[in-house]
Chains A and B, each alone.
Chain A
């Protein structure tokens, strides 16, 4: 802590990733675009190596470095594992799509590596400054990724929109941070927590600062009322990029949100709890009702992810250890559902290129039954119907809410999930009950099929066997956060 000898071990995976990412960038620059395949494979390897190093070398014991700016604990290990996996899968499923659209550039995997690095810093941030640095590194990479397909109007529009609104939210975040610093005199979460707890009376400046901070973070997790960018960006970005957006960054931002609130503002539970409850309810309702009228499946998934963030926030609102455990379980399950669903969307290809309308799935059960079954598993799982993994997520989340005495919140959440069920059912209906609208051309490669297959499997009743270990891992992670 005193900086006598700098202990780099807690940040070892991040350092490897940073150096590796830059090496890959150099490699790409010297070899040109034809090196996409090689760089993509190396990036996946790099991410997995870092993950193994983190699990084996860093472990779950709490440790801080860089003068308390960077912290690792079991919570970080759990969230980072999800981030690593989400990023690796996003690179894995992209190959064929990118080369078909003529955007198979080496920057794609490299940008994902840097975005991942940003997310890892977010998860490990123990200081408002490292929080901001991680967040910006991630966001800047994501802005570029959204606009990757630069010859296509919608992609550039998505990138620009994301950038402008993202910059606005970063501004709010910074303003909040400066207020908090100004009124408390620290940016360190641990010091902040003790100073707030020890204070005689609550300073209104810190409250306002925290509200701005929350607004900025709500933007990153696309919680209502800061969700406006989500449908447009999801729709406009190239599909593998959308898959990436929906998965790993959401996990990282939620983990960050949890750490800030639990570690940084434990003395202000009553203040932030009501904000979280509000954005949670708003997200669940908007995610459910607005999705009802969507015809584009990527927009549908955008509203679906807004709704799911709303559910995850229910666990945050509970504010208890069980609540955080529930958030982690939920995020893990959400990650598999989302990646699987987007990998399946990648296979929606007809003679004149990619199709994105729900109607294009018509009669999929007669032309490609395994794919239709897989998509149905994702849809029922997203809807949270028992037998599928998504139900376990809802069970943990709402159990924590009921335990914390938030029964109205649980009831609203469940009612919203019934509404949401309608549009998930509609996708199943289109695939199973409607006449075929022509088969999809197969072939997004084995990687995509494997991702669809594996995630469908873990979401299917096979999840009955996995939920025990996932639950105990999440409990182990949540336990570390509260020391």
Chain B
């Protein structure tokens, strides 16, 4: 049984080995000498930067929870109209490329705050609202509120009720969310660079400086290993803390209450406040897309649909604007890349998740392996891919689908995160019953598992697609002419001279926001038809 179930995980493991492990190892052997290791480890700035990465990530985790918990509580405990839509909108920040969010913050904030620790941590919190919301709210939904009443009846005080009833049930989800937010903030690059300012360096931003500005590739690769070690240590610590909570109560009936009276008002305030925070930088982006220099103009939008609009600008230099053709091309490329990445990641994640679920507690290592793509530096991975797939039949650097392949690797952890908990709740009794009725294993998998998992599969595919739409690091390394993804195009336009070019960048950013919101709404509608989970013993 064990060997058979491991077999389903093999494609995903091979995929990770080829497109994640191999490039890093190749880069390591090609560029790193023993002296690089001692040089980097003995340099004082290495540890100063590592320390800054660590504490800013912890501070960002706290800020994220402060921003996201009120909404998470309300959504997790209450049923109300438009719940799915609120959840989709609140999540959008996570899927936008950091260049876009940073541009939105800069458009929104007064100049004085453009470069500050506060702006940087606020942007980190903004990004990660979705993580807290999506990891913790489902746990809250299924928490049996009757347990609290029971504890009270038995004489427990508020504090005692919290520490011995509520917290143990929530601990796994909280630690899991904190861990993911921590990883994202620790490896943050564009936000640190743009909003944190040049005096603040994380390991990831120092890797880029070493690799590109200084040309110290050996040092850059060693730093990315330091990063893996630090993150792995912190995450393993977190897992150790959460371990005994693995016996968290089995899910029970959904116990959402309708919001009424004071609660409804409180809820409305929370929703309005959170969505205002989420929307503000995005609205600032949209406003910027309607301005060329200081004047209001639709020129940016016109250039998206009509090449002539740009050409007609009197004698302005041809480079004043990128042609509509190139802009629409990047839209198509992004869409195509996202769809392919989602399909590949879904197939791989399904096999991997199946094995993780089958192996139960023995599958923890596999679960951990599926998270590895999150902690590998995108700069290092991108360079590794350029070095590894460089000749003969495997010179894939110029192909459009290579970016999708890399996105399938980057999106895999999220897809696995979505599938595993849902799969765990598919009652074994259903499969047993089907087996008794004569269904083959293949039939059981298709007719029971896949069918029950469909909403989760849709959700996983949507998330991978959204991640692919927003991914910048690897895409900027591998993107090709006529096949540049939206984030890459936006970053390039923002770096150029000319007001119209900048406006076009904001137009594309606005389009990207709309695309991401649509993908998320699709995910919500995929899940909505099935939003009344049942006690699995009755399913």
A, B in one complex: no
Interface residues of A (CB under 8 A from B): none
